[in-house]
Structure 1
Amino acid sequence: MILIPLGNIKEDKVPKSDILEFYKDSLVGLAAARPTPPLPKPINTTPWIAMSFMQKAIRRGNGPAALMGAATLLRDAPERLWRRVGCVAFEDVGVADIECLGLVTAAQAGKADRRKLGGEWAVASLIIERMADAAKNRSADDLLMTIAGLPSLADERKNFATLSDQRLYQIVLGCSDLHKRGLALWYLMGTKRCPSPNLPHRQGNVEFAFEVLAEHGVSPSMLQIARQGFRKTGEMLAPFAALLTLVNGIRGDGAQNDRIPHKRLVGGVPSYALDTYTREGKQAFSRFLKTNAGTVEWMTANLPGNGRNAFVGELVFRIEGGCLNNRRAGPVADALRAQYELGCLGCSPDQAASVLSLMRNDMALLNDCRAEVLGEAK
């Protein structure tokens, strides 16, 4: 069994039998010691742009900007806010700060608990600031994306779907390959609830899957956090974060900041908020594809006509959307990141490196397209 890092909290002071109650009590203490919450400053935009804005601001460690996105969601789509913060915690903070995961999952318990802590905005602003300040690690999402997308796993994606739960259990516990262990765990959890276009349908057995993680050696504290995270989000990020606590190997020599392109304000929001999950972002990508940019010339020569808009979105995520300030990583995290960025674009790693370089040089032109789209929308 491993001991999970809990910041300034002593591990031997944490009651393993009810870690979520411990974190609820921790939230009470943090709320009581905190000055008056900042005033909410929502912006005039769509919930989808607000979600993108908030998450990417958290990744960049920009608390004030993240709070603007959160305030917009709390005003216009509060249910989206509370599900999204759970996803952000496991996707972008992950194994770099387990204490932060515990606080976020405790904050998701329900309105009654949040009311005792001062209300929706008091709790939302508290955990948004905590996530923005936290060390970051995207290994859970990188593991998810590489399992679903690496060409070398094509046979396993097909064959593992037909295996018995007992055989999948053996793979999770006994295989040395992290991707195969993760794929077996995904099928145990079930693709009915956690679907992927690259994975066949399988019913799954969630309780058995968490029992396998427990037998594998995941700490009781992390298991409770992951169970609650999965219950609230319905995504594989929480179980993968639990699996990664066994192998994360995070370096203790400080954090690093990713190379992040210069942002531009377009229509009152940062340009990075217009991504492939927003209507306006897709419109900007379509407009970009009509330019004579070097990236577009490369795509014309190397890719079929269909799917180019989504391909631009994949490039932009790697260059801009998924970047972190205060990234904590190690050998496993570094390998997963490289495999995702260069191995899951549908072209060779050399081609991927080439087109990513072109896209980085074309980001200013893309931002022009984003500004035009928002200007026309207004």
Structure 2
Amino acid sequence: MQFQPLFEATDPIFKELASDHQTPAAEPLLVSPWVAMSAMQKNIRRGQIELALSAAAALLRNYPAKLWSRLAGIAFEDIGLADLDCVALVMAATTGKKFREQFGHEWRIASLVVTRMCAAPKCRGTDDLFIAISHHHELEALRGDLARETLTEHLSRVEGRAALLGASLAALHVSRVRWIGQVEGQRADPKELFAAMRVAGVGHRIVDLGEQGFRRTREALPILLPLVSQALPLGTLTVKDDEFPPVVIGHNRLPTYCLDAFSWEGKAALARFLKRDTATGRWLRKHAPTERRLSILAGGLFRVEGGLVRQRVEWPCAMTLRWLADSGFHNLKLSDPAAFLAMIRADLPKLDEVRHDVR
């Protein structure tokens, strides 16, 4: 039996995969793959096991590749440093179908992983970092400066444990991951990037997970996770549920929070909402160009609803990164960014009037 180099046969991850997990029955959702992926992720964040499993069952039945790739992404986006064992479990489970067959049928592994992810504590610090360094207007000069640096200079920032924001931008350039600040023709070397992290003294297990996650997803968050880990304090951290808006169930029998800009159905609902006379719509018409209004609304909705989690692990760096993302996701110079989010939050009942009718 051959395993990925990241795992060994004595690893507790294998014991979990081979455990006496009671495979639950789940009725697959009758929705598009985009709504199913959104529903699975939102309900993993909220710890809603039944809905998350129904969404996962729909994906496994009709779009299995999307299920496994999305689970790999969620592990780094929503769980991350809060539960590295859970991240490792997801990495093992998403190794490939032949690997999973050694531990049972596909639904057994999928349901085990989704259930475990629902129960895990959550840390969204890495995703908040990515949002901040990609969009915050006060980091525009830093983004410009690093875009002109060489591969050697980028690697030096990582090896030298430079300030987190600069080192993270450097890492994105070295990785050549697809992101808004990518520079065409720039030299990249992901292998050297992860080697630089090890030289910098980042824990080898976290670097290994990041490297495995990057190979699996080709996304930015596995690259940033090891860098964020350098700011993680020792000891027990506070775990706290976010404050959630009231849940509204739509005609499709799904919570309306499953419908956002990450699905065509949700995006269409947001576009209809923008045509209504609301405080949020009036603000956007006054302050944002027409072509950006939908994306700004979607980003704000994510901050006040879609990105909320149960069991959020709170620590200073993660809280700062969350504030940066909250105040800068829109790339606008606002005197009171929190007021805009409060406006969206207050308009959620009007948005739900639109989302309620989505079939």
The TM-score by the shorter chain falls in which range?
over 0.9
Report if the CA contact (8 A) 1:251-1:330 is conserved: no
Give secondary structure in 2 for the equivalent of 1:20: coil
Shift in Å, 1:184: 0.8
Give secondary structure in 1 for the equivalent of 2:291: coil
Report if the CA contact (8 A) 2:238-2:314 is conserved: no
- The equivalent of 2:330 in structure 1 is 345
Runs of 5+ unmatched residues, structure 1: 1-16
- The equivalent of 1:245 in structure 2 is 229
- Say which is worse superposed, 250-259 or 268-277, in terms of deviation: 250-259
Residue 305 of structure 1 aligns with an amino acid whose one-letter code is T
Report if the CA contact (8 A) 1:158-1:200 is conserved: no
Distance 2:342 2:164 in 1: 29
Distance 1:27 1:51 in 2: 25
Distance 1:75 1:243 in 2: 37
**1:294 equivalenced with 2:274 (yes/no):** no
Alpha-carbon deviations, 1:295-348, whole Å to 9, x = none? 112222222222211111011000001101000021100000000101232333
**1:21 equivalenced with 2:4 (yes/no):** no
Runs of 5+ unmatched residues, structure 2: none
- Say which is worse superposed, 357-366 or 305-314, in terms of deviation: 305-314
TM-score, normalised via structure 2 length: 0.94
Aligned ranges 1:104-119 → 2 under 5 Å? 104-119=90-105
Distance 1:251 1:351 in 2: 35
Aligned ranges 1:1-378 → 2 under 5 Å? 18-22=5-9, 25-174=11-160, 176-190=162-176, 194-201=177-184, 202-249=186-233, 252-266=236-250, 267-372=252-357, 374-375=358-359
Alpha-carbon deviations, 1:5-58, whole Å to 9, x = none? xxxxxxxxxxxx9542358x5344224432420013201000000000000101
Report if the CA contact (8 A) 2:137-2:333 is conserved: no
Shift in Å, 1:195: 1.5
Distance 1:244 1:310 in 2: 27
TM-score, normalised via structure 1 length: 0.89
Residue 144 of structure 2 aligns with an amino acid whose one-letter code is K
Report if the CA contact (8 A) 1:342-1:348 is conserved: no
Report if the CA contact (8 A) 1:315-1:356 is conserved: yes
Give secondary structure in 1 for the equivalent of 2:341: helix
Distance 1:45 1:186 in 2: 35
Shift in Å, 1:154: 1.8
Shift in Å, 1:253: 4.4
Report if the CA contact (8 A) 1:87-1:233 is conserved: yes
Shift in Å, 1:221: 1.6
Report if the CA contact (8 A) 1:148-1:199 is conserved: no
Residues 250 and 38 of structure 1: CA distance in aligned 2, closer, same or farther (over 3 Å)? farther
Residue 263 of structure 2 aligns with an amino acid whose one-letter code is T
Residues 22 and 153 of structure 1: CA distance in aligned 2, closer, same or farther (over 3 Å)? farther
Distance 1:31 1:96 in 2: 20
Report if the CA contact (8 A) 1:96-1:250 is conserved: no
Aligned residue pairs total 354
RMSD: 1.8
Residue 354 of structure 2 aligns with an amino acid whose one-letter code is C
Distance 1:250 1:287 in 2: 47
Distance 1:114 1:346 in 2: 42
- Say which is worse superposed, 194-203 or 67-76, in terms of deviation: 194-203
Residue 335 of structure 2 aligns with an amino acid whose one-letter code is D
Report if the CA contact (8 A) 1:247-1:332 is conserved: yes
Distance 1:329 1:20 in 2: 29
Residues 65 and 183 of structure 1: CA distance in aligned 2, closer, same or farther (over 3 Å)? same
Residue 49 of structure 2 aligns with an amino acid whose one-letter code is G
Alpha-carbon deviations, 1:220-241, whole Å to 9, x = none? 2222211111111001111211
Alpha-carbon deviations, 1:217-271, whole Å to 9, x = none? 1222222211111111001111211112211227724311111111212112111
- Say which is worse superposed, 264-273 or 245-254, in terms of deviation: 245-254
Give secondary structure in 2 for the equivalent of 1:306: helix
Residues 339 and 22 of structure 1: CA distance in aligned 2, closer, same or farther (over 3 Å)? farther
Give secondary structure in 1 for the equivalent of 2:231: coil
Residue 20 of structure 1 aligns with an amino acid whose one-letter code is F
Report if the CA contact (8 A) 1:86-1:105 is conserved: yes
Distance 1:106 1:248 in 2: 24
Distance 1:175 1:228 in 2: 22
- The equivalent of 1:13 in structure 2 is none
Report if the CA contact (8 A) 1:249-1:332 is conserved: no
Distance 1:349 1:152 in 2: 11
